[in-house]
């Protein structure tokens, strides 16, 4: 019997986890990963690359993928679900599949003009080229220049503190349309505020940024502030590939999948990670994160294996335990959360929390490697028993 062809689009946290799990467990499947580069990018370290506390976030895929996985360095430009083909940017010959995992991840959220979200002329940290660009911009700034980070979610907090700690000659400003730490427990929010104060980060709350140029930014209230470098850290957007291919998407362009991570009406197509939206209660709490991409990648692999074996779907379940936030290299915050991602309980802060976060970053890569050697070894916290209807997850 001919091997069944599994195509995995995207070698991020979800795609690599799925490829290793499938290649080791389903010898009858021929697994091919399509990714634009031969490196896996540890996106969770890109703020470190930008701040020069780490040289690179690239890990050669050859060192991560199960040797049975084939890697095609290319970009998928269109999926043809009727013919079960994927067209590539760099090759006239499309790739055929029996099962497909859509795991193309996310990047920079485009600014929405007129919404006060129009800081798109600045810098970003969403992918490796953006982090490299920001790194060289920071390097070129004269002492005393102001760097504004727009967005005080987890990525914005990690970025502003990383730069503030490593670039003491620059002035750092954190701008948010809400309040800092609004999504943490009161003790978590106090710890973050104390750290920002210690690093002399100016905090501007309840303010939108309308536009920016090389030396200033303009708020939605019309105030013009000095800013030699404005960095957008206010959410991720996904590639348009699913929608362009006629597959069902949510309003953000994420591939819509059911609770078993399968795309309804398109048998054999599965989705996981930032680029997929799990419809229904099982997906309500899932925010774009490495913390959900890894378990969803593992469960998509199990779903694909069952599909190829003619088995029935089984619902995926992924939940959260902790929000692990670096606040520079010298401090961090570990905020416990419920499985549904609601902050709770006492926090761990300071250098111990920084150490814990560093261990988590190392573990993500170790888990991917371990799954290649011992398929099925990765385990994760299950999702909430009953998702709260009022809680809709955003991005990290």
Counting contacts by CB under 6 A, is residue 64 touching ligand FAD?
Answer: no
CB atoms under 10 Å from CB of 329, counted, come to 19
List % helix, strand, coil for the chain (3-state, nearest 5).
Answer: 30, 25, 45
288, two tokens: 């774009």
Q: Which of 4, 126, 218, 335 is in the footprint of ligand FAD by CB under 6 A?
A: 126
Which residues are paired to 101 by β-bridges?
8, 270
Which is nearer to ligand FAD, 10 or 268 (by Cβ)?
10
Q: Which of 7, 15, 84, 260 is in the footprint of ligand FAD by CB under 6 A?
A: 15
Counting contacts by CB under 6 A, is residue 7 touching ligand FAD?
Answer: no
Which residues are paired to 224 by β-bridges?
218
Counting contacts by CB under 6 A, is residue 99 touching ligand FAD?
Answer: no
CB 185 within 8 A of CB 160: no
Counting contacts by CB under 6 A, is residue 47 touching ligand FAD?
Answer: yes
Counting contacts by CB under 6 A, is residue 9 touching ligand FAD?
Answer: yes
Which is nearer to ligand FAD, 271 or 375 (by Cβ)?
271
Give one DSSP letter per residue of 121-187, joined into a string: TSB--SSHHHHHHHHHHHHHPPTT-EEEEE--SHHHHHHHHHHHHH-TTSEEEEE-SS-TTTTS-HH
Q: Which of 137, 277, 307, 396 is in the footprint of ligand FAD by CB under 6 A?
A: 396
CB atoms under 10 Å from CB of 114, counted, come to 9
Q: Which of 4, 20, 35, 335 is in the footprint of ligand FAD by CB under 6 A?
A: 35
User: Which residue number places its CB atom closest to ligand FAD?
Assistant: 12
Helices 13-25 and 350-373: angle between axes, nearest 10 degrees: 40
Tell me the closest approach of the beta carbon of residue 224 to ligand FAD, in angstroms: 28
Nearest by Cα to 33 from 66, 59, 82, 81: 66
Distance CA 154, CA 241 (A): 27
Counting contacts by CB under 6 A, is residue 34 touching ligand FAD?
Answer: yes
Tell me the closest approach of the beta carbon of residue 110 to ligand FAD, in angstroms: 15
Q: Which of residues 255-284 bind ligand FAD (CB under 6 A)?
A: 273-275
Counting contacts by CB under 6 A, is residue 183 touching ligand FAD?
Answer: no
Tell me the closest approach of the beta carbon of residue 320 to ligand FAD, in angstroms: 9
Q: Which of 31, 61, 69, 125 is in the footprint of ligand FAD by CB under 6 A?
A: 125
Distance CA 297, CA 354 (A): 27
366, two tokens: 């170790």
Tell me the closest approach of the beta carbon of residue 329 to ligand FAD, in angstroms: 14
Q: Which of 75, 145, 148, 227 is in the footprint of ligand FAD by CB under 6 A?
A: 75
Region of 6-14, 197-205, 304-312, 383-391 interacting with ligand FAD (CB under 6 A)? 6-14
Counting contacts by CB under 6 A, is residue 230 touching ligand FAD?
Answer: no
CB 323 within 8 A of CB 335: yes
Tell me the closest approach of the beta carbon of residue 272 to ligand FAD, in angstroms: 7
Which is nearer to ligand FAD, 225 or 296 (by Cβ)?
296
Counting contacts by CB under 6 A, is residue 46 touching ligand FAD?
Answer: yes
Counting contacts by CB under 6 A, is residue 160 touching ligand FAD?
Answer: no
CB 255 within 8 A of CB 248: yes
Give one DSSP letter per residue of 139-155, joined into a string: HHPPTT-EEEEE--SHH
Counting contacts by CB under 6 A, is residue 308 touching ligand FAD?
Answer: no
H helices of the chain, in order, are 13-25, 46-51, 128-140, 154-166, 186-198, 241-244, 290-308, 350-373
Counting contacts by CB under 6 A, is residue 20 touching ligand FAD?
Answer: no
Which residues are paired to 209 by β-bridges?
117, 219
Which is nearer to ligand FAD, 75 or 145 (by Cβ)?
75
Q: Which of residues 331-390 bind ligand FAD (CB under 6 A)?
A: none
Which is nearer to ligand FAD, 225 or 286 (by Cβ)?
286
Binding site for ligand FAD (CB under 6 A): 9-15, 34-36, 41, 43-44, 46-47, 75-76, 103-106, 125-126, 155, 158, 239, 241, 273-275, 288-291, 293, 324, 396
């Amino acid at each position: 019997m001919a091997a069944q062809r599994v195509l995995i689009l995207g070698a991020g946290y979800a795609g690599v986890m799925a490829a290793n799990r499938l290649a080791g467990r389903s010898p009858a499947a021929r697994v091919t990963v399509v990714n634009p580069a031969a490196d896996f990018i540890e996106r969770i370290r890109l703020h470190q690359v930008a701040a020069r506390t780490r040289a690179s976030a690239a890990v050669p895929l050859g060192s991560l993928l199960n040797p049975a996985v084939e890697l095609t360095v290319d970009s998928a430009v269109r999926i043809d679900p009727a013919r079960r083909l994927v067209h590539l940017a760099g090759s006239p010959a499309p790739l055929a599949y029996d099962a497909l995992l859509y795991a193309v991840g996310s990047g920079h959220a485009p600014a929405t003009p007129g919404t006060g979200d129009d800081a798109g002329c600045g810098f970003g940290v969403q992918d490796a080229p953006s982090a490299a660009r920001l790194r060289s911009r920071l390097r070129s700034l004269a002492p005393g220049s102001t760097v504004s980070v727009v967005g005080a979610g987890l990525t914005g907090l990690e970025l502003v503190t990383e730069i503030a700690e490593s670039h003491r000659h620059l002035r750092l400003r954190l701008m948010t349309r809400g309040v800092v730490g609004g999504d943490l427990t009161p003790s978590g929010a106090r710890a973050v505020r104390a750290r920002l104060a210690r690093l002399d980060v100016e905090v501007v709350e309840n303010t939108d940024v309308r536009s920016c140029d090389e030396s200033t930014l303009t708020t939605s209230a019309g105030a013009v502030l000095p800013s030699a470098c404005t960095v957008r850290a206010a959410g991720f957007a996904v590639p348009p590939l699913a929608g362009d291919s006629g597959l069902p998407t949510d309003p953000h362009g994420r591939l819509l999948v059911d609770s078993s991570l399968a795309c309804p009406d398109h048998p054999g197509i599965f989705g996981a990670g930032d680029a997929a939206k799990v419809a229904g209660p099982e997906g309500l709490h899932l925010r774009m994160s490495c913390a959900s991409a890894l378990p969803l990648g593992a469960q998509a692999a199990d779903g694909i294996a069952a599909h190829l074996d003619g088995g029935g779907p089984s619902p995926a379940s992924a939940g959260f335990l902790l929000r692990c936030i670096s606040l520079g290299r010298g401090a961090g915050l570990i905020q416990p959360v419920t499985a549904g991602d609601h902050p709770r309980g006492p926090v761990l802060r300071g250098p111990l929390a920084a150490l814990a976060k560093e261990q988590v970053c190392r573990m993500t890569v170790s888990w991917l490697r371990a799954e290649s050697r011992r398929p099925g070894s990765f385990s994760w916290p299950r999702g909430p028993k009953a998702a709260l209807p009022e809680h809709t997850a955003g991005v990290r």
